[in-house]
Amino acid sequence: MTAQAGSAAACGLVACGDCALVSRPASAAAAGHCPRCGAALAWRQPRSLQRTWALLVAAAVLYVPANVLPVLVTDTLVSSQSDTIMSGVVLLYTTGSWPLALIVLVASVMIPLGKLAALAYVLVTVQRGSAANARERTRLTRTVEFIGRWSMLDVFVDTFVVALVQLSPLMSVAPGPGVVWFMAVVVLTMLAARSFDPRLIWDAAAAREDRDGRPR
Amino acid sequence: MAAPADDAALPQATVEPARRARLSPVWIVPLVAAVVALGIFAERVLSEGPAVTIVFQSAEGIEAGKTFVKYKDVNIGQVTAVRLTEDFGRVEVTARIAKSAAGLMVEDAKFWVVRPRISLSGVSGLSTLLSGDYIGFDAGASTKRQKTFTGLEVPPIIDGGPGRRFVLHAPDLGSLGIGSPVYFRRLPVGQVVAIDLAADGKSVAITVFVNAPYDRYVTAGTRFWNASGFDVSLTANGIDVRTQSLVALLEGGLAFETPAFAPAAVPAAANAPFRLFADRASALKPDDTIATRYVLYFAESLRGLSVGAPVTFFGVGVGEVVAIGLTLDERTLNARPRVEIVVYPQRMISALPAAQEKLADTMVGNRELRHAIMRRMVADRGLRAQLMTGSLITGQLYVALGYFPDAKPVRFDPGADPPELPVVPSPFPALEAKLSSIVAKLDRVPLDAIGAELKLALATLDQTLKDVGRMAVSVETQAVPALRSALDDAKGALAATERVMGSAENNLVGASAPGQIELRHALQELARAARALRVLADYLERHPESLLRGKTPEAAPK
Amino acid sequence: MDSVACRCCDLLQRVPPLPRGGKARCVRCGQLLATRPADPLDAPLALTIAAAIAFAVANATPMLRLSAEGREAQTTLPGGALAMWQAGSELTALAVAFCAVVAPACHLALLLAVLLAVRRPPAPPWVGVAMRWLERVRPWAMTEVLLLGVLVALTKIAQLASVAPGPGLFALLAVVLLVPAIATTFDADLVWRRIAWADARAQVRA
């Protein structure tokens, strides 16, 4: 174990991921099960970095079709119009409801992008063993985990618009191919955020301090 | 400042044990939630009306959860399920009726599916284009409640407004259909509401509904005629093109009028029977109850003379040709043309002062008297029959009666049956001059320009209809197949019209210029309508929301 | 042991450990000094029941109603997901159904089960499993995102046609208000402490 003084791991203890009970692991190699709730114990989330990277890359790839393909297809008596997420925001803005446009812009464009960037940043710094800004980076991962779900907003909006505006042939709205990719981006980034173990930030920071031989 | 008191020295607060049974006030929250939920549930159960089952032949346009039942355009229910009957032969539609309308579900209530029906005589159920098909409902008179109904396949005619029905009998239907308009002085005043074959299969009974207040113009003496399409008649009077309106032109229609000679009668009773005449001319022909037949022996060619050709007297139609043939001259044993005509003496004295009317009646009614008058006219004034050319182009002939005082006196024999009227030869030389002047006139008629204009108008219309057709395809095809087929029909009708126009263009050389003008007006109207439709389509393209919200004033550009 | 001064008479006195549901009163003037709730898990239980009822209403009644040109349409929460499925976007429909209906329902059901089971400690070990799943399902129960989504959809459609909120929307609002209230009153640590240990020997050692 590379964990350093102060952390539970450094004391040879492991905290249960479910009930938070700190217990002595069965052995260093296999932590065993939590004596209280019976959950499998682990020093850190297994293969956290790998899994997070994989999910993050998948999300980043899907982010392209999610934004390029239309999410809503509006058919009226005389025309058919496809809206991507961005053109939907523009449409909301031009029709005069800028607060709504802002909400959708933040939830559907900025949050997914921000999540991708933030997770990538944290992952890179952890892998490089950076010790700087550990506190801020931990807060960043917590924020990412917390706000990630709000990106589902657009999916819900589309669902209700599709469910309600079925006045064919006058006007009907159908989901476009982009909506499923967008949903996948949101789900994948949420999974990525959850699979990242923020304790790794501190482990890395502690390891760097240890190597540099000067306490913080 | 006193020193901090020793804990042990302090008095101890009284401890009250928990009172059992006491509930935390937080339980009010779920209680309120439960009450509200129960309230919503109870309101739902209590407001639920009966479910009725309607059996239709097909479920076209009916969708569970989307199709409504409407009475007087008010939603009174919603379709909840559509399934096949047990024998798979028909469709069972279950609808949940609002509680307020539960009382309407009686034995003789009627249900039918309202779909867009587009015909040129009018578009019915156009609102269903916007609202989707719905189930129409008409209340019954019974008070006996019922849960299962058989839906009507054809919408019943709801006598929505006042008016009366009349039954017309015709040998065939022609191009009429349910909904064909009925015109009175080119004003649409009613429509065909039912068509039945007579019990013996030999005629058709067409029930028309004439809206009030126009129904009072239908009297016992009123004549109905078929105003379908072009009424192009090629007669000795020239080409006569008549049409009631563009709609009637394309779709068929009926018209009625009360001829001047009809007795001023009271309005006809509802459901009174009438005869449907083939055209206006035959409809408005007086009933010639008294007819006198005469025979004419011409010495010239009868080519161009046909049965039904008019017999005129001073240019006024007083009879018609009833038979044409050859016969043998008893004296010379030579074949000679024989023309039999009828003359309606009533027409010769159509308007007399009231005082003389009685005299005229006796005069006309008495055969001897009639022949005596005729003999005097032939002998004293020189009444003769003459073949005249009605139309130079078509060469149609008619029989003109006129006075020729210089003619060789002839004896009129009233005893023969029919008596013979003397004839004079046709004035051919005079005709030549007339011919050349008319041909010159014809040259000046800008037929090419007129034709081009017609074609242009038709092309515009055709293009628009194509646009509309495309639109209809982009509209969910299963939603309005009726629309598409109706448009196809309309296109077909237009193509047919175009053909008619084409031939009319070739044939329309006759003197009937008023017909041409009428036609041009109609087509200009059509072109205008087509343009309007395009403007509408453009507007919708730019403002799709106006479909739902109605036209809004243009917002100022930002 | 705490010592307090009575707010009424300023008598300094000790407050002994209180039994459940018990109260401490000033020995001199009878002023209420301290209370200990009968059961700290009562409040979350009550709120959870309320939220479950509201959530049932939110699912059973129409969220939004639309009317245009004599046509009416309405949709419920599961109806929205169903419409998405029928419109050919099955995966999205599943995601919506999971995040909007299944996850919140599981969340509330698990909470209810846990809170009822721990009323009489020690709670059986399955409560621990339920607690674990509770944590896992929570991020996916997106009632508040859903509410905002419905409101945005309402405003969006309102530009096209007249649209009105249905009772389901208000029920959803109640759920959204109740869920954080549950979260603040719910003491997960207390629940864990009441659960019978999976490894009884370990408890003794601890």
Confidence of residue B510 (pLDDT cuts 50, 70, 90): very low
Integer Cα distance of A169 and A78 in angstroms = 9
Q: Which of B130, B131, B475, B533 to mutate to test the interface with A (most CBs of A within 10 A)?
A: B475
In 3D space, the residue among B260, B252, B304 whose CA is nearest the CA of residue B279 turns out to be B252
Buried/exposed B302-335: b ≥16 CB within 10 Å, e otherwise: bebbeeebbbbbeeeebbbbbebeeeeeeeeeee
pLDDT at A181: 92
3-state secondary structure of B170: strand
Tokens of A30: 């296999």
Cβ–Cβ of B13/C14 closer than 8 Å?
yes
CATH number reported for the structural domain that contains residue A91 in this entry: 1.20.140
pLDDT at A216: 44
Alpha helix stretches (DSSP H) within A42-133 = 48-68, 85-94, 98-105, 111-127
CB A70 within 8 A of CB A84: yes
Q: Is the pLDDT of residue B314 over 50?
A: yes
Cβ–Cβ of A170/B547 closer than 8 Å?
yes
Min Cα distance A83 → chain B (Å) is: 15
The pLDDT of C34-48, averaged and rounded, is 81
The dihedrals phi and psi of B2, each to the nearest 5 degrees, come to: -75, 150
The pLDDT of B493-510, averaged and rounded, is 53
Indicate the burial class of B105 (C-beta count within 10 angstroms; 0-12, 13-18, 19 or more): buried
Q: For chain A, how many structural domains are there in total? A: 2
Q: Which of B128, B130, B484 to mutate to test the interface with A (most CBs of A within 10 A)?
A: B130
Task: Name chain B's partners: 3 or more CB pairs within 8 A.
Answer: A, C
Alpha helix stretches (DSSP H) within chain C = 42-60, 77-86, 90-97, 103-117, 126-137, 143-158, 167-185, 188-194, 200-205
Tokens of A113: 């992008």
Chain A residues near residue C92 by CB distance under 8 angstroms: 155, 158-159, 175, 179-180, 183
Q: Residues with Cβ < 8 Å from B507, sequence gap 6 or more? A: B232, B234, B239
The pLDDT of B307-336, averaged and rounded, is 83
Asked if A72 and A106 sit in the same domain, the reply is: yes
The pLDDT of C180-198, averaged and rounded, is 83
pLDDT at C100: 92
pLDDT at B249: 56
Q: Is the pLDDT of residue B121 over 60?
A: no
pLDDT at A11: 79
| CA-angle at C151, arms to C147 and C154, nearest 5° | 140
Integer Cα distance of A120 and B548 in angstroms = 46
pLDDT at C170: 93
More confident residue, B330 or B110: B110
Specify the range with the lowest mean pLDDT, choosing from B50-54, B427-431, C126-130: B427-431
Q: Is the pLDDT of residue C156 over 60?
A: yes
Report in angstroms the alpha-carbon separations of B34 from A125, B37, B188, B350. Answer: 52, 5, 62, 91
Asked if A35 and A56 sit in the same domain, the reply is: no
Residue C1 is nearest to which of B7, B11, B17, comparing CB atoms?
B7
| Bridge partners of residue A75, in order along the sequence | A80, A172
Cβ–Cβ of C139/A18 closer than 8 Å?
no
DSSP B272-292: EEEEEESSHHHHHS----S-E
Low-confidence ranges of chain A (pLDDT < 70): 1-6, 77-78, 168-170, 213-216
Q: What percentage of chain B carries pLDDT values higher than 90?
A: 1
Integer Cα distance of A163 and C92 in angstroms = 13
CB A135 within 8 A of CB A122: no
Integer Cα distance of A97 and A92 in angstroms = 6
> How large is the ipTM?
0.84
Cβ–Cβ of C24/B131 closer than 8 Å?
no
Confidence of residue B369 (pLDDT cuts 50, 70, 90): confident
Q: Where are the domains of chain B?
A: 47-150, 163-284, 292-437, 445-544
* H-run or E-run covering B210: strand B204-211
Average pLDDT, chain C: 85
Candidate ranges B19-33, C55-69, C165-179; pick with highest mean pLDDT: C165-179
Q: Where are the domains of chain C?
A: 2-35, 42-205
Q: Which residue has the tokens 């999300």?
A: A59
Asked if A22 and A125 sit in the same domain, the reply is: no
Asked if A29 and A58 sit in the same domain, the reply is: no
pTM comes to: 0.59
pLDDT at A55: 93
3-state secondary structure of B6: coil
Q: Is the pLDDT of residue B446 over 80?
A: no
Specify the range with the lowest mean pLDDT, choosing from B53-67, B348-362, B423-437, C109-123: B348-362
Confidence of residue C58 (pLDDT cuts 50, 70, 90): very high
Tokens of B255: 């018209």
The total number of residues shown for chain C amounts to: 206
Q: Is the pLDDT of residue B534 over 90?
A: no
Alpha helix stretches (DSSP H) within B48-78 = none
Minimum CA–CA partner of C201 in chain A: A35
Assign residue B550 a region: left if phi > 0, alpha if psi is -120 to 50, beta otherwise?
left
Confidence of residue B511 (pLDDT cuts 50, 70, 90): very low
Q: Is the pLDDT of residue B114 over 90?
A: no
Domain that holds residue A32: 1-43
Asked if A26 and A86 sit in the same domain, the reply is: no
Cβ atoms < 10 Å from Cβ of B343: 23
The pLDDT of C151-173, averaged and rounded, is 86
Q: Which residue has the tokens 């469910």?
A: A163
Integer Cα distance of B58 and B175 in angstroms = 27
pLDDT at C48: 93
Q: What percentage of chain B carries pLDDT values higher than 70?
A: 62
Asked if A63 and A26 sit in the same domain, the reply is: no
pLDDT at B162: 77
Q: What letter represents residue B386's amino acid? A: Q
Specify the range with the lowest mean pLDDT, choosing from B161-175, C76-90, C106-120: B161-175
Average pLDDT, chain B: 73
Preceding omega of C122 cis (within 30 degrees of 0): yes
Integer Cα distance of B466 and B60 in angstroms = 25
Chain C residues near residue B11 by CB distance under 8 angstroms: 11, 13-14, 27-28
- In chain A the first and final C-alpha atoms are separated, in Å, by 20
Integer Cα distance of C64 and C62 in angstroms = 6
Cβ–Cβ of C3/B7 closer than 8 Å?
yes
Specify the range with the lowest mean pLDDT, choosing from B92-106, B124-138, B399-413, B469-483: B469-483
The pLDDT of B464-476, averaged and rounded, is 63
In 3D space, the residue among C99, C150, C117 whose CA is nearest the CA of residue C48 turns out to be C117
Q: Which of A159, A180, A195 to mutate to test the interface with C (most CBs of C within 10 A)?
A: A159
3-state secondary structure of C24: strand
What pLDDT, in 10s, does the model give residues B253-262?
788 888 776 6
pLDDT at B287: 63
Cβ atoms < 10 Å from Cβ of B163: 18
Q: Is the pLDDT of residue B494 over 90?
A: no
pLDDT at B524: 66
Tokens of B80: 């909840």
What pLDDT, in 10s, does the model give residues B204-255?
888 888 888 888 888 887 888 887 655 555 555 555 555 555 555 556 678 8
The total number of residues shown for chain A amounts to: 216
Integer Cα distance of A14 and B98 in angstroms = 64
Residue A80 is nearest to which of B474, B540, B547, comparing CB atoms?
B474
Minimum CA–CA partner of A20 in chain C: C189
Q: Is the pLDDT of residue B495 over 70?
A: no
CB B155 within 8 A of CB A195: no
Is C33 an 8 Å CB contact of chain A?
A: no
In 3D space, the residue among B257, B256, B229 whose CA is nearest the CA of residue B245 turns out to be B229
Q: Is the pLDDT of residue B119 over 80?
A: no
Asked if A82 and A183 sit in the same domain, the reply is: yes
Q: What percentage of chain C carries pLDDT values higher than 90?
A: 32
Cβ–Cβ of C95/A183 closer than 8 Å?
yes
Integer Cα distance of C134 and C106 in angstroms = 8
pLDDT at B448: 72
Cβ–Cβ of A170/B540 closer than 8 Å?
no
Q: Is the pLDDT of residue B553 over 60?
A: no
CB C69 within 8 A of CB B130: yes
Integer Cα distance of C124 and C191 in angstroms = 11
Integer Cα distance of A157 and C150 in angstroms = 6
Q: Which of C76, C77, C96 to mutate to test the interface with A (most CBs of A within 10 A)?
A: C96
Q: Is the pLDDT of residue B466 over 90?
A: no
